[in-house]
A = this chain, B = another copy of it.
Amino acid sequence: MESTILYLIPALGILGLVVMAVQSSWVSKQPTGEDNMVELATYIAEGAMAFLKAEWKILTYFAIVAAIVLAWSGMMVETSSPVIALSFILGAILSATAGYIGMNIATKANVRTTQAARTSLKGALQVAFTGGTVMGLGVTGLAVIGLGSLFIIFYNIYVVNTGGSVNGKAMEKAIEVLAGFSLGAESIALFARVGGGIYTKAADVGADLVGKVEAGIPEDDVRNPATIADNVGDNVGDVAGMGADLFGSYVATILATMVLGREIVVRDNFGGLSPMLLPMLIAGLGIIFSIIGFSLVRISDDKGNVQRALNIGNWTSVIITTIACYFIVMWMMPANMTLRGANFTNTGVFYAILVGSIVGALMSIVTEFYTAMGKRPVRSIVQQSDTGAATNIIGGLSVGMESTLVPTLILAAGIYLSHYFAGLYGVAIAAAGMMATTAMQLAIDAFGPIADNAGGIAEMSRLPKEVRARTDILDAVGNTTAATGKGFAIASAALTALALFAAYVGLAGINSIDIYKADVLAGLFVGGMIPFIFSSLCIAAVGRAAMEMVKEVRRQFKEIPGIMEYKAKPEYDKCVAISTKASLREMMLPGAIALITPVVVGFAFGPEVLGGLLAGVTVSGVLMGMFQNNAGGAWDNAKKSFEAGVMINGEMQYKGSEAHKASVTGDTVGDPFKDTSGPSMNILIKLMSIVALIIAPHINVNKVPHKAELTPTVQVEQTVKIPTEKKL
């Protein structure tokens, strides 16, 4: 029975990839339009590919060094193995591949969306969204296949072949080795997100500062030397970066649930594996239900409501998945379970999943409130733009800080309730339930930058106004989904980090993280500081790179005569090179901080202080993430509000007014907030927790001697029967 499920999981992943291939080939078959459009799209695709290649080169060195360290450390403790290095490399490769798939389809779908928009909004939505679904299925399919297959392999090697217990040290080793996969995925995710985030915002800010402000030419104007870099940025940051990011999150969430699930002693459900199989199965089925949701994202004509179409697709897949979870949980899980002294039932596990879904939905709603046009927060920023850039900035900072209130209360309630229903396993499975429809979330998220790019190509190709109008409708929806997606991402990251935290505590052999102890409290302080310094580095990097970009664009305007009259072509490649170089240089230090700090603190001060550090990082990271994402989103939409006109002091004000200019300043400040430092926070908190999890056996307070005999430590009521030949 367990083998059916075991093999069903990667099969679901393969099914996802098959559907992805069909969708992808459909997109490729769509018409691309005239030569000049194709030429621009080619510049963008080449720039994006050049960045990915340069990034991969650096990350290869990193992965090799990290793999060597992991292999060596895997030999040092009994509960790990040098094989962890292979897991790590596979995770890194699949994470990079997930980003590549997304970027590849996005750079194809962009120009095809532009072409479709020449005819209808309906067609444009279909091309852009189908592009998004390719990415969604690619990320989740690869993750489920990777995790599912590795689990089968390690389960056979470490448990079945040794005759170990599924609840004992043998399985602990299998899961620890599997954690390497998550570490690989999340490490690449961090670099991709930070590097891509710096790339895209350096180009965006640089292009805007000289183009819009100094030269007075519109956004995405073909005369702006930085415009190609800006459009490349949308792909490497918002698409490839986000793909790797969500790949990492998705894997980390499932893994955290498996680590805790291993500790639940189950008599005979699926050979005792059910608590570990559940998160993987939910993820696999989530792919199928996302595919069902995809088919509902349709509008009938140009008057159709795009946001509504996306919502119908999204909520359908969320609701079907939740209902399915009920039956799966009741079927797979035993009636009563115990984890670290907490007793709970299978109904409780379902309730925890339900809590996760509700938390995710509420977080999206609150985030939308704080960042949507026409709502009180954005309106207040618009009003404050009337007295200049300073009050606009003050307004946005205040909205961003305020926006942490309700989400934090929701999150605290979510932690409390999911734990109430199913202990620590409940916290983890709530995150897993929330992440089940990642394919759908990602399709909605990726559709935004595709539409954005399509609009850019329309502008650069000087297509008729109605084309740009259609892509603008998609782009505006994309801004909202980007904001809500971030709310969702930070909530799932918080729950996952807590699940990893709980998993870490178990593996480190400690029973408490007592902040009443001075050293643990000091750890909490240092941990709380890390998101601040991390954000500072990201923001400063964008600022520096944008300055370089500004200087280059100014130079080209000055030294290349005829640019302004469309007579000479700007040197796009120089700007692409600046963004590429700067982002790769600047992603190193933040990445190193995230990876090295837990190792240093863990070995120097022990597991409990490291626990304090992780708690500090998580709390502060979640808050800084929400603050920065929402402030950035609100500034962006405050600026956009002027396009339709806003009423200030009884007077209508439009684009070009003084108040609008003030709002552009806010938007520029918000750029690195919402696309570089803010979204990095959720990777930061998960990555540091995963690193802690990996080193936990090394700093375990009851560290077992090297190569000691493998014996189950947990007393099971009735030993699980496992077909086995070999014994130690």
Q: Is A209 in contact with B387, judged by CB distance below 8 angstroms? A: yes
Distance to closest chain B CB from A505 (angstroms): 5
Q: Which of B387, B521, B529, B547 contacts A547 (CB 8 A)?
A: B387
User: Counting CB contacts under 8 A, is A535 at the interface?
Assistant: yes
By size class, the interface of chain A is: 35 or more
Q: Could you say which residues of chain B place their CB within 8 Å of the CB of A400? A: 536
Asked if A412 meets B525 with Cβ closer than 8 Å, knowing A394-B543, A665-B390, the reply is yes
Tell me, in angstroms, the Cα distance from A419 to B388 when the chains sit together: 49
| CB < 8 Å neighbour of A401 from B525, B528, B533, B669 | B533
Please give me the residue from chain B that is nearest to A522 by CB atom. B412
- Are the CB atoms of A387 and B550 closer together than 8 Å? yes
Query: Which of chain B's residues has its CB closest to A673's CB?
Result: B397
A524, B393: Cβ atoms under 8 Å?
no
**In the assembled complex, which residues on chain B have CB atoms less than 8 Å from the CB atom of A420?**
518
> Residue on B with the closest CB to A391?
B543
Given A498-B521, A518-B416, A669 contacting B622 (CB threshold 8 A): no
Residues of chain B within 8 A of A620, CB atoms compared: 528, 619-620, 623
Residues of B within 8 A of A411 (CB): 522, 525
* Cα separation A664 to B390 with both chains bound (whole Å): 9
A209 with B390: CB separation less than 8 A:
yes
Please tell me which stretch of A16-24, A99-107, A509-517 contacts chain B, meaning at least 4 of its Cβ atoms lie within 8 angstroms of it.
Answer: A509-517
Write out the residue numbers on chain B whose beta carbons fall within 8 Å of the beta carbon of A513: 514-516
State the Cβ distance, A367 to closest chain B Cβ, in Å. 15
Which A240-263 residues have a C-beta within 8 angstroms of B? none
Instruction: Confirm or deny: A540 has a beta carbon within 8 angstroms of a beta carbon on chain B.
Output: yes
Query: Contacts A415-B521, A525-B408, A620-B619 known; A398 to B543 CB distance under 8 Å?
Result: yes
Chain B residues closer than 8 Å to A409, beta-carbon distance: 526, 529
- A82 to chain B minimum Cβ distance, whole angstroms, is 31
- State A543–B399 Cα separation when bound (angstroms): 11
The yes or no answer to A542 lying at the interface (CB within 8 A) is yes
Tell me if A611 counts as interface (CB < 8 A to partner B): yes
Residues of B within 8 A of A518 (CB): 415-416, 419-420, 424, 427
Q: Which chain B positions have C-beta within 8 A of A523?
A: 412
A389 contact set on B, CB distance < 8 A: 389-390, 665
Interface presence of A180 (CB below 8 A): no
CB distance from A455 to the nearest CB of B (A): 22
Contacts of A395 in B (CB 8 A): 540, 543
Q: Which of A214-269 contact B (CB under 8 A)?
A: none
Q: State A359–B724 Cα separation when bound (angstroms).
A: 62
A282 in the interface, Cβ–Cβ < 8 Å?
Answer: no
A419–B525 CA distance with the chains assembled, in angstroms: 15
Decide: A412 near B526, CB < 8 A? Known: A393-B393, A515-B615, A543-B391. yes
Query: A532 contacts B401, CB within 8 Å?
Result: yes
Which residues, 547 to 568 on A, are CB-close (under 8 Å) to B?
A: 547, 550
Judge if A205 is at the interface, Cβ distance under 8 Å: yes
In the complex the two chains form, what is the Cα distance from A535 to B623 in whole Å? 13
8 Å CB contact of A622 from B413, B525, B540, B543:
B525
> Which residues from B are CB-within-8-Å of A412?
522-523, 525-526
B525 touches A402 (CB 8 A): no
CA–CA, A480 and B494, complex, Å: 39
Q: Tell me which of A395, A494, A505, A514 has the highest count of chain B C-beta atoms within 10 A of its own C-beta.
A: A514
Instruction: Give every chain B residue within 8 A of A479 (Cβ-Cβ).
Output: none
Most buried by B among A413, A516, A519, A615: A516
Which residue in B380, B502, B547 is a CB contact (below 8 Å) of A516? B502
Residues from chain B with a CB closer than 8 A to the CB of A536 are: 397-402, 405
The distance in angstroms between the C-alpha atoms of A522 and B664, with both chains bound, is 38
Asked if A529 and B390 make an inter-chain contact with CB atoms under 8 angstroms apart, the answer reads no
Q: Which residues of B contact A521 (CB under 8 A)?
A: 415, 498, 615
A525's partner among B209, B415, B511, B542 (CB-CB below 8 A) is B415
The reply to whether B619 and A528 form a contact with Cβ atoms under 8 Å apart is yes
C-beta contact mask, A414-456 vs B, less than 8 Å → 1, else 0? 0110011000100100000000000000000000000000000
Does B505 contact A516, Cβ atoms closer than 8 Å?
yes
The reply to whether the CB of A384 lies closer than 8 angstroms to some CB of chain B is: yes
A485 within 8 Å of B (CB atoms): no
Task: Tell me which residues from 364 to 409 in chain A have a Cβ below 8 Å from any Cβ of chain B.
Answer: 380, 383-384, 386-391, 393-395, 397-402, 404-405, 408-409
Contacts of A505 in B (CB 8 A): 516
B390 contacts A619, CB within 8 Å?
A: no
Which B residues lie within 8 Å of A540 (CB)?
380, 394-395, 398, 402
Q: Which residues of B contact A535 (CB under 8 A)?
A: 398, 401
**Which B residue's beta carbon lies closest to that of A505?**
B516
Over the window 595-620 of chain A, the binary record of Cβ atoms lying under 8 Å from chain B Cβ atoms (1 yes, 0 no) is 00000000000000001100110011
Report how far A178 CA is from B138 CA in the complex, Å.
65
Q: Does A539 contact B (CB under 8 A)?
A: yes
In the bound assembly, the distance between CA atoms of A388 and B212 in angstroms comes to 13
Inside 8 A of A498's CB, which chain B residues have their CB? 521
Partner of A384, one of B393, B515, B547: B547
Known contacts A412-B525, A519-B416; is-contact A546 B391 (Cβ 8 Å): yes
Q: A512-B516, A516-B611 are in contact. Are A533 and B398 (CB under 8 A)?
A: no
8 Å CB contact of A616 from B546, B547, B619, B669? B619
Please tell me if A627 contacts chain B, counting CB pairs below 8 Å. yes
A132 in the interface (beta carbon within 8 A): no
Other than A390-B664, A398-B543, give 17 A-B pairs with Cβ distance below 8 A.
A205-B390, A209-B388, A213-B388, A384-B547, A394-B669, A401-B533, A402-B540, A415-B521, A416-B519, A419-B519, A505-B516, A512-B512, A512-B516, A513-B516, A532-B623, A619-B619, A620-B620
Pull 28 A–B residue pairs with CB atoms less than 8 Å apart, ordered by A: A205-B391, A209-B388, A380-B540, A386-B547, A387-B547, A388-B665, A391-B546, A393-B669, A394-B540, A394-B668, A395-B543, A397-B539, A399-B536, A401-B539, A402-B532, A404-B533, A405-B532, A405-B536, A408-B528, A408-B529, A409-B529, A413-B522, A513-B514, A514-B514, A515-B515, A515-B612, A521-B615, A620-B620
Chain A contacts to B: CB under 8 angstroms: 205, 209, 213, 380, 383-384, 386-391, 393-395, 397-402, 404-405, 408-409, 411-413, 415-416, 419-420, 424, 427, 494, 498, 501-502, 505, 511-516, 518-519, 521-526, 528-529, 532-533, 535-537, 539-540, 542-543, 546-547, 550, 611-612, 615-616, 619-620, 622-623, 627, 664-665, 668-669, 672
Which 4 pairs between the two chains have the least Cβ-Cβ distance? Answer: A419-B518, A401-B536, A390-B668, A412-B522
